[in-house]
Chain A
Amino acid sequence: MARSTETGASDGRAHDERRHRWRALLRGTLDRRALPVLATGTVLVLLGIFYYPVATVFVESVVVDGRVTLSVFWAVLSDPFYFGEPARLLTGTPPTAVLDSVLSGDPRLGVVGFTAYQAALSSVASVALGLPAAYLLARYEFPGRRTLRSLTILPFVLPSIMVAVGFVATFGRNGTLNTVLGAVGLGQVDLLFTLEAVIIAHAFYNAPLVARVTTAAWESVDASAVETARSLGASPTRAFRDVVAPQLYPSVVLGAVLTFVFTFGTFPIVLALGGFELATVEVFVYRLVRDLEYAEAAALALVELAISLSLLYGYLRYEARHSISSDGIRPLPRRPIVPPSLSLRELLPRAGLAAYSVVALAVFVAPIASMVYASLTGPNGATLAHYEFLLERQASGASFQVQPWDAVRNSLLFAAAALAVALPMGVVVAVLTTRRYRGRKVLDVVAMAPLAVSGIIVGLGLLRGLVFGVEVGGTRLAVGGALAIVAAHAVAGYPFVVRTVAPGLEGLDRSLVESARALGASRARVLADIELPLVWPAVVAGAAFAVAISIGEFSATIVLASGTSQFTMPIAIERFIGRRLGPATAMGVVLLVVTSASFLVIDRLGGETDAL
């Protein structure tokens, strides 16, 4: 607001009145204009930071030497190396011969087929490991529950190099698991460099995602619906199956679909823990980009994108059909973790949870603990040398070297700023895609594209589209630095906000909104005062994801950073990798501590919904 320069007491009252009128007018205008303005801003950010840069790369798959051609696509699609047996159909092999090969018991999957196969297995494993955690967190009360819930998302942000280190130390030949198995007299397991190791690592990354979205859904189940079912004579099992479970399915399917999409685009972890036999599509996209063979790289990445988006589209159709209407939340009361009686009914689920926690310790806690252990040991036993290295680098590193503290500060600043951008973006898109009009699901799936595009392609697009800039009237407009990084992080994180918030908005009783509107509240006011508070757990879950994505982001950050002064923790970790694992793991532990603290703060600020 411009400050008035008027002075003099005689004008005071009139001036005050004018100011009040102005304020009221401004507030009214803001209220009325808020959503359109936010929507416009969202579209502009998405176009500038995502769709345009990525398009500059994808266009290369169809425009070769200035002519539009589908030959590159055709070459990729009809290559059995990529597409296995079905590709032979395109090259004129008779369908019967292809069918014979498929039925022969050892059909060629092709790289794309294999990538989909491992992604499907990863999804199943992530759901299997994520659901019990959601059950525990949503339905039981125990000391440290909220802290544990906040920290479930932690694996999500770890750089793949750290996860690889943790997994080698845990599941390797001389790893913790074999030591334990040996101690209890069981044989050795050679888990490393197998598909199983890759699947478990993918579950390590994505089971927390499944757990987190399902927990949020479970906590949003209205207790009165269950009580009604029970009072009508339904058994607890029946009430769960008919009332609770249908409200969880969309979240579980969402977790599975997102896991598939992420692991379909997986790259470093597959080569670190599996080996080149298990190479995924993204490995080849990387190699083709490195060799500057853009046409083929873009074609492959587009195929990846088409598969991922089809799956997301299918999910969105499903989600729309399965939205549960609710008009308020009174969460189910949580059970004590200590069984109140020794009946089978009380003991059985708790015994199951006890068994699950052993598995969870091995899969989630042990790799992280190994990482911490590696940061505290050297060739001659326990040492703090690696942390001293961080301090020394901070104190005496050159300006062109990455500084640990600056990296911590940047990560936190970028995460906070990205959250401030991603939340409104996500809420706006959620509102826009839950209105009733034709084609809204198409819009929704297009808005989900940042989840599904190859990170390698995004990095290249940002370099060309933003860093090199565009020429306008003899001047080159280039974008880089902190603002661009924040925008890129927000674009990467906002789909999570959409996906957690939209189902809740969809399910809200429309009469709430309509009566508020009838009483004169603007659309933005209704959203802020009525709708969002009702879906608050989902908003907090989305916020946590947006922060996690920002803290873990690497490829866009390194491209857009205009100097070491803008480097973040994952970049510091990558720079500190050397012959000794110490410095990188010490930085990894710093990332763990900082991230844990951030998530605890988010969940504390987000609050619990018990009070409602």
Chain B
Amino acid sequence: MLNEDERAHLAAHIGHYPEPRAGAIYTLQFLQRKYGHLHNEALREASALCGLSITQLEELVSFYPLLLRRPVGRRVLRICDSIACHMAGAPALLDEAVRLSGVPLGQPSADGAVTVLPHVCLGLCDLAPAALLDEAAHGPLDAAALAALVAPENTGGQ
């Protein structure tokens, strides 16, 4: 549940737009940072704040790839698979990430530490093959650098 300060912060942010729905993306991002993903309760809180129905919010969450409706690990690793990274070995890197996390792409690892996702161009073409661990850019990556990124000491797993 959002506390009073958080609710007041979001209400102020939403209120500074000519229309409340303009604050929806910021609100959803805020809730996602707090909860990890946008579960039903998060959407209900966003709905109350932004004046949008749950369906209207689902329209946004299902459209924008950085909004997560399903549970993920505590860290999210997005590996770019667009052309520069593809040529530099992204397919093999994705395979290796699946092997290291022990679960298919998109699922939280068994210890809940990390979820690996393929992602369209990250804008890191000069660092190909590249990835984002949460919000931090990494690249160029090889298998060893990837292993270090998803290692328990880095992702807080066991």
A and B are interacting partners: no
Which residues of B are at the interface with A, using a C-beta cutoff of 8 A?
none
Which residues of A are at the interface with B, using a C-beta cutoff of 8 A?
none
